[in-house]
Chains A and B, each alone.
Chain A
Amino acid sequence: MSELDFLTDTMGRLLAGLPITLQLAVLSVSGGMVLAVLMAVARSASRPAEWFVRGYVFVLRGTPLLLQIFMIYYGLGQFAAVRDSVLWPLLRQPWWCALLALTLNTAAYGSEIVRGGLNSVPAGAVEAARVAGMSRFTLYRRIVLPIALRQALPAYGNEMVIMVKSTSLASIVTLMEVTGIAYAIISETYRAVEVFLCAGAIYLILNFLLTRAIGTLERRVNPHLRGAATS
């Protein structure tokens, strides 16, 4: 097989793994973001919630993601209670385990990013909204969250890029996403460099599109900065 044929063939096989990579990335980032916002808000609401979130963030940020995936995939199945529960049909599948681990992991990093955003909301804006008679829910929906999320967007963009790369760890619990397929092709053909180039290109393009999209979004949510010298 000629070199070019091998490359196109490899590319074709790798692209078959793209749907799983995308599913894991999109679902874990969106699920993680919901959790992150909830935790960041809960943290400022009550003492016990604050300690819970602190502990959660400490553990999830201080340990390798691979260990977290193993814990959920292999560790939880040890308990009969888990095996008998209604969730077992889901927790038995590597796809759900990987998704759960990725979501919980990004939620920890995300909640810190959102917390930074919440801290940046000017106290005056909150006071003004209270004076105008907004309820707590409306206050969060109309004033606090829009400002906080806009502030947190650049850092959250970094986290999203990291998550796209982290989906590669799902291959270790037997999922055939892009990296899993790359591993299989490398062990068949031992042409590591060519396969690396193809798989690397896929991730690079994904992340390039992602950073571009976030940049566009940033410009859209910051109309007051438009025209100024921002990047």
Chain B
Amino acid sequence: MTLAVSAAAFATGICFGTLGAWAKSSHAALPRRLADGYTTILRGVPDLLVIYLFYFGGSGALSLIAHTLGAQGFYGLNGFMVGMLAVGLVSGAYQTEVLRGAYNAIPHGEIDAARAVGMGGLLMLRRVIAPRLLHYALPGMGNVWQQVLKESALISVTGLVELMRQVHIGAGSTRQPFEFYITGFTLYLILTTLSGALFRAAEHRSARSERRL
């Protein structure tokens, strides 16, 4: 569950991040302002607060929408959705900066060259910009992933039974909290170490086409 909610939040974060990075490097003032506000607020406010906003506010908003559509009763966001959206939104703010930096690192000549051989916008995005962007962004994205993995522990406050919640329940019901928390430490360490290795492997792979100096 920890992995599922982290992966979902990470994917959401990439969507928000891509949008944010695109808005920030746009020439129009309005999207740039909006993206600036987004990264400033989401990076300056505690994640726990954002989770509470979605946990309580999300259910209210959903019920409101459901009621205006004519439905009855209470509609709530479940813990998974809350976690995915809240952590996704926060990590998206960090992802924005990572992707923006990576986009700026693409040599302008490569884009000019792609245009010169007559590539269309979409083809250029697929064949030139995306691969280069991914290569430059990987180390930063690895950081964001580690952060998301540890932040997913906060989602336990919504009652979603992920690793942290499971550990806490076990600790409470067996009255042997120390053993359970130590197990929790070990499991999180395994997760972070393994995914760190995975990202290093991915970086290595994406560096195949780089010219070595």
Contacts and interface: CB of A to CB of B under 8 A. Distances in A.
Q: Specify whether A and B are partners.
A: yes
10 contacts: A63-B185, A64-B188, A66-B156, A67-B164, A75-B181, A78-B178, A168-B48, A190-B60, A196-B50, A203-B44
Interface of A: 58-59, 61-67, 70-71, 74-79, 161, 165-169, 171-172, 179, 182-183, 186-187, 190, 192-193, 196, 199-200, 203-204, 207-208
Interface in B38-87: 40-41, 44-50, 52-53, 55-57, 60
B167 interface: yes
A113 to B, nearest CB: 14
B161 to A, nearest CB: 15
A62 B46 contact: no
B47 A165 contact: yes
A137 to B, nearest CB: 36
B177 interface: yes
Contact of A204 (B45, B151, B167): B45
A70 B168 contact: yes
Given A66-B156, A75-B178, 10 more contacts: A58-B189, A61-B192, A76-B178, A161-B44, A167-B46, A200-B41, A200-B49, A204-B41, A204-B44, A207-B44
B18 to A, nearest CB: 23
A65 B184 CA distance: 12
A114 to B, nearest CB: 19
B: contact size bracket: 35 or more
Interface of B: 40-41, 44-50, 52-53, 55-57, 60, 150-154, 156-157, 164, 167-168, 171-172, 175-178, 181-182, 184-185, 188-189, 192-193
Identify the 6 closest CB pairs spanning chains A and B, nearest first: A192-B57, A64-B153, A168-B46, A192-B56, A62-B192, A64-B150
Contacts of B46: 165-169, 179, 203
B150 A63 contact: yes
Main secondary structure of the interface of A (DSSP, over half): helix
Given A70-B171, A71-B181, A74-B181, A65 B49 contact: no
A78 B178 CA distance: 7
Contacts of A167: 46
A168 B178 contact: no
B133 to A, nearest CB: 24
B96 to A, nearest CB: 16
Nearest to A183: B52
